[in-house]
Amino acid sequence: MRILMYGWEFPPFNSGGLGVACEGIVNGLLRHNTKIHLVLPRAPQMKSENFNIVDLSSNEDIEFTEINCPVLAYEGEHHYTQNLVNIKNASMYGSDLFQEVERYSQLAGPMAAKHDHDIIHAHDWLTYKAAINGKKISKKPFVAHIHATELDRSGENPNPYIFELEKMGFEHADKIIAVSDYTKRKIVQHYKIPASKIEVVHNAVTKNFKQYQTKNFKESAKKVLFLGRVTMQKGPEYFLQAAAKVARFLPETVFLMAGTGDMLGRMIHLTHDLGIDRNVLFTGFLRGADIDRAFQNADLFVMPSVSEPFGLVALESIQNGTPVLVSNQSGVSEVIPNMLKVDFWDTDEMANKIVATLKYEPMNHDLINLSKRDLNNLEWHDQALKIKNIYTTL
């Protein structure tokens, strides 16, 4: 089976879970007798000598096409306009984010005429219009994979252009793959798409990963980790509010906030307002081995997302041997029942569960052992087969 896949980020140039998930899906599909042509944007600020897509270039079953496009995943309209100022020949690109997405779709869509394929598979709103254009050319079925909706990212104030583009993609798709039942319900409720058109394939992890040498913090301060984009969707302010309450009972606890985003400055000020400057460390954006080390050095990972379609980072934490506390507004709990859960807004209960996990070592051990058992049932090889089986129904 030949797949024309439109992605928006892919390791090593990824800034979040979308790229990690795409890598897992691609690697999984390649193990199931498929050939993939992956179309990706290539921002001019990426240095060509560093561009090596996760060592897949030697695999004869995958090919790549790069489209010159300065849009980065998770980038808002304001950030796109700011970045454009520093790019040579900026006039060749769209004057705003949405014009550039339109330009990209006009360049990427015609790849459907150049590369033989049986299925078009597109990831998230940035790629949907390119896939629609490709479907018009090749007349092949189009699968829209949704990793996060605009409603997840923006709450009650979605960008109307992005919302309508997502809806257009859902309507033109022959099948939709959602990363959780949580996301499927949202698509049915807010985008008015029939439930019968949507299949759920949860994210997974790659089994082979390196165990890094970690320091023994058991004899010193306990460490609680937040790792993700510092944006409204991820709930960083709730993490810090809970941290302030934990610090009253366990004053030596260290809270690590790993990531960047448009709320980072506000969170730095919030630590001062809450009086926990000495307890909180901001690490900036982490990548690759540093992510695994952060998990392995932490006693607990907290994911207080306001709306999380899945939450792949929680699986990475469990894989690294660190127990997890997630919000009830997260899809990952559908596949890992043995993890702590709390409503994102309930910082009292969040603090209670953090304190309990840090103070009672048997509870900590039980959580990680049980959640690791749950994780053994999730591997990209199996999830990719589910995706291929969806292809065969079209």
CB 324 within 8 Å of CB 296: no
The two three-digit tokens of residue 392, written as one number: 């065969």
The kind and range of the H/E element at 292 are helix 289-296
- Coil, strand, or helix at residue 295? helix
Average predicted confidence (pLDDT) for the chain? 89
- Coil, strand, or helix at residue 324? strand
Per-residue model confidence as pLDDT tens digits over 5-17: 999 887 766 566 7
C-alpha to C-alpha distances, 18 to 56, 125, 188, 272, 289, nearest whole angstrom = 18, 12, 22, 33, 18
Q: Count CB neighbours of 289 within 10 A.
A: 11
Residues 6+ apart with CB under 8 A from 167: 191
Per-residue model confidence as pLDDT tens digits over 18-52: 888 999 999 999 999 999 999 998 766 554 443 44
The C-alpha atoms of residue 263 and residue 384 are separated, in whole angstroms, by 35
Q: What DSSP character marks residue 174?
A: S
The C-alpha atoms of residue 276 and residue 254 are separated, in whole angstroms, by 10
Per-residue model confidence as pLDDT tens digits over 101-156: 999 999 999 999 999 999 999 999 999 999 999 999 999 999 999 999 999 988 87
Parallel, antiparallel or unpaired: strands 175-178 and 280-284: unpaired
Q: Is the pLDDT of residue 172 over 80?
A: yes
Kindly report which listed range (69-73, 173-177, 222-226, 316-320) carries the lowest average pLDDT score.
69-73
pLDDT of residue 293: 92
The C-alpha atoms of residue 53 and residue 63 are separated, in whole angstroms, by 11
Q: Is the pLDDT higher at 39 or at 287? A: 39
Q: What is the pTM of this model?
A: 0.90
pLDDT of residue 15: 60
Q: Is the pLDDT higher at 59 or at 379? A: 379
Domains assigned to the chain? 2-204+379-392 (3.40.50.2000), 223-375 (3.40.50.2000)
